[in-house]
Amino acid sequence: MANGVQHHILSVLVENKFGVLSRVAGLFSRRGYNIFSLAVSPTEDERLSRMTIVVDAESTPLEQVTKQLNKVIPVIKITELSPDDAVERELMLATVKAGAEFRSQVTELAAIFEAKIVDVGYDAMTLLVAGTPDKLDAISDLLAPFGIIESQRTGRIALPKLARQPTKLRAVKDRGA
Interatomic CA distance for residues 72 and 20, integer angstroms: 9
Residue 113 three-state SS: coil
Contact 60, 35 (CB under 8 A): no
**pLDDT, tens digit, 9 for 90 and up, residues 9-35:** 899 999 998 988 898 888 888 877 888
What's the whole-number average pLDDT of the chain? 87
The distance from CA 49 to its chain's CA centroid, rounded to whole angstroms, is 15
Contact 136, 110 (CB under 8 A): no
Interatomic CA distance for residues 25 and 5, integer angstroms: 21
- pLDDT of the residue at 40: 92
> The pTM is what?
0.76
Closest by CA position to 6, among listed 65, 63, 82: 82
**pLDDT, tens digit, 9 for 90 and up, residues 116-165:** 999 999 999 999 999 999 999 999 999 999 999 999 999 899 999 998 77
Contact 132, 156 (CB under 8 A): no
Taking residue 102's Cβ as centre, other Cβ atoms within 10 Å add up to 16
Interatomic CA distance for residues 152 and 90, integer angstroms: 11
